[in-house]
Amino acid sequence: MTAHDTPVDPTTTAAWAALDAHEEELADGSLREWFAQDPDRGRTLSRQAADLLVDLSKNLIQPHTLELLLQLAQETRVLERRDAMFAGEHINTTEDRAVLHTALRRPQGSAPSLQVDGQDVDADVQEVLERITAFAQNVRSGEWTGATGKRIETVVNIGIGGSDLGPVMIYEALKPLRADGLEARFISNIDPTDAYTTTADLDPETTLVIVASKTFTTLETITNARLVRTWLLDGLRARGVEVDEREAVAKHFVAVSTALDKVEEFGIDPANAFGFWNWVGGRYSVGSAIGTVLAVVLGPEVFRELLSGFHAMDEHFRTAEPDQNVPLLMGLLNVWNVNFLGAETHAVLPYSQYLHRFPAYLQQLTMESNGKSVRWDGTPVTTDTGEVFWGEPGTNGQHAFYQLIHQGTRVIPADFIAFATPTHPLRDGKVDVHELFLANFFAQTKALAFGKTAEEVEAEGTTGALVAARTFSGDRPTTSIMAPALTPAVLGQLIALYEHITFVQGAVWGIDSFDQWGVELGKKLANELAPAVAGDEQAIAAEDSSTAGLIRYYREHRA
């Protein structure tokens, strides 16, 4: 396959027609029936991918559904596209780029080495990784100091989107591993509140700033970087430090970018910059130098363990047989849920407080990737694409929005994620609280699958209109993902799992999951609106009546 081949229209395949018919047949069945008919269903529909156990059995599928979905993958040439991605073909057609985040995770010495567009990708990756490792060790050991000779205590990462969400999510997930006396903070929003509140209580003498931006042109990041540079220089001066600006910036600012020329223009010494490459998409970049903040605060060994987890899932996706290939099956299952069962959203519900930013991270990964209406050859898509991803950690979500998942009118497939070993094994008297927590995980997936019939409700003594209110239809699809513990490697596996699920969906739909043209218009308009927002009457009058009205409101009410 070449990356520019016309995408196969999935709706014209034999598998699609068969899936349509199959969906009608299945509509008469139920999870209660299917579990009763096949007492081994839980096992036959479970798979293992690296350290993850993935139980698909509580989805609205029969084993034959998976066969038909795999046929759909074959007819839409998903695995050929996968191989093209791993080989470095330019499958990001609209930007004419290779898609090689998987190369970031290849272990040192992988053979044969990966050559792409005349570049030894493995050598480039290892060189940057070694520089990051050395830098992280310097900061952690105290060898690297601020301008006044004090060791670094806080690393502030300034970035947005893929240059923020991955680092924040992983930092939060692995916080127990951070070095004593070293913390990370993150500034992303151009709302000045973010820069202000994040730096308000920091000591500039002990603060190191990482400006992370693939393009180094992103308005939010560059503005925040300038704000923090001013904060730093003013703060040092206020402490009576005689500031040589260049020297202070060199000691307190490093950068991560693919545009090292722009880093230099900003005033950061290229010697303090870590590069990556345009074949790493922003939302796929946390395994690149974008993860520098993690290597510093959590440690380079933790960062490498994370990468090894990513790689384990990459290898599973690249080599596992289709019927055992978890990202392939889960991606196809999402297609089934969206295109055949009518799901419009997908919940991700981690039963781990440390994963509280995981759904937010997945929102960019999945929705920036697959929120598209045209295919990679510019023709319109032929079916619904990208569902809305959302979620919160359990059990908090149970007391907020689960009502709608249990008894609402919409089908909401949900992924439940849990770990056997707690990070903090606390007891409440004789009760192991982690067990209480997991009991909720098991109870929710069971309730969603099997519900509660009117007869069961009545048998408990309920009568009248209350019976209907207390009845649960069941047949609400869920996937359960379990792992031994939330280690760096397991986290890497989980992230790569969702990356590849996203890939599979995009490949079936024929879309370029690696561009993001949809965010450009708003950025351009924000720049164009600046004169009107600043009060230029002529510019305001040229706007539509809604936008003009809103700007006038702002101008009149600004204190």
Q: Is 446 a catalytic residue?
A: no
Stretch that binds ligand F6P, among 213-221, 416-424, 429-437, 536-544 (CB under 6 A): 213-221
**Residue appearing with tokens 């991605």:** 85
Tell me how far apart the alpha carbons of residues 53 and 418 are, in angstroms, rounded to a whole number: 10
Tell me how far apart the alpha carbons of residues 289 and 273 are, in angstroms, rounded to a whole number: 9
Q: Judged by CB under 6 A, does residue 506 bind ligand F6P?
A: no
Nearer to ligand F6P, 106 or 214 (CB): 214
Parallel, antiparallel, or unpaired: how do β-strands 119-120 and 478-483 relate? unpaired
Nearest to 374 by CA among 385, 364, 389: 385
Q: Is 399 a catalytic residue?
A: yes
Q: Restricting to residues 366-395, name those near ligand F6P by CB under 6 A.
A: 368
Q: Restricting to residues 252-291, name those near ligand F6P by CB under 6 A.
A: 282-283
Q: Judged by CB under 6 A, does residue 166 bind ligand F6P?
A: no
Nearer to ligand F6P, 215 or 272 (CB): 215
Nearer to ligand F6P, 199 or 221 (CB): 221
Stretch that binds ligand F6P, among 82-90, 211-219, 410-418, 527-535 (CB under 6 A): 211-219
Q: Is 523 a catalytic residue?
A: yes
Q: Judged by CB under 6 A, does residue 334 bind ligand F6P?
A: no
Nearer to ligand F6P, 65 or 213 (CB): 213
Provide the β-strand partners of residue 92. Answer: 97
Q: Judged by CB under 6 A, does residue 519 bind ligand F6P?
A: yes
Say which of 89, 220, 368, 499 is annotated catalytic.
368
- How wide is the angle at C-alpha 534 spanned by C-alphas 557 and 198, nearest 5°? 75
Secondary structure of 376-400 in HEC code, one letter for each residue: CCCCECCCCCCCEEECCCCCHHHHC
Tell me how far apart the alpha carbons of residues 397 and 72 are, in angstroms, rounded to a whole number: 34
Say which of 399, 424, 430, 524 is annotated catalytic.
399
Nearer to ligand F6P, 145 or 223 (CB): 223
CB atoms within 10 A of CB 535: 13
**Residue appearing with tokens 């384990």:** 312
Q: Judged by CB under 6 A, does residue 161 bind ligand F6P?
A: yes
In this structure, what is the dihedral angle of CA atoms 355, 125, 258, 301, given to the nearest 10 degrees?
Answer: 40
Nearer to ligand F6P, 191 or 203 (CB): 191
Tell me how far apart the alpha carbons of residues 176 and 166 are, in angstroms, rounded to a whole number: 17
Which of 46, 189, 215, 382: binder of ligand F6P (CB under 6 A)? Answer: 215
Q: Judged by CB under 6 A, does residue 502 bind ligand F6P?
A: no
Q: Is 385 exposed, middle or buried (0-12, 13-18, 19+ CB in 10 A)?
A: buried
Binding-site size for ligand F6P (CB under 6 A) equals 14
Which of 47, 77, 97, 214: binder of ligand F6P (CB under 6 A)? Answer: 214
Which of the residues are catalytic?
368, 399, 523
Query: Where on the chain is the footprint of ligand F6P (CB under 6 A)?
Result: 160-163, 213-215, 218, 221, 282-283, 368, 516, 519
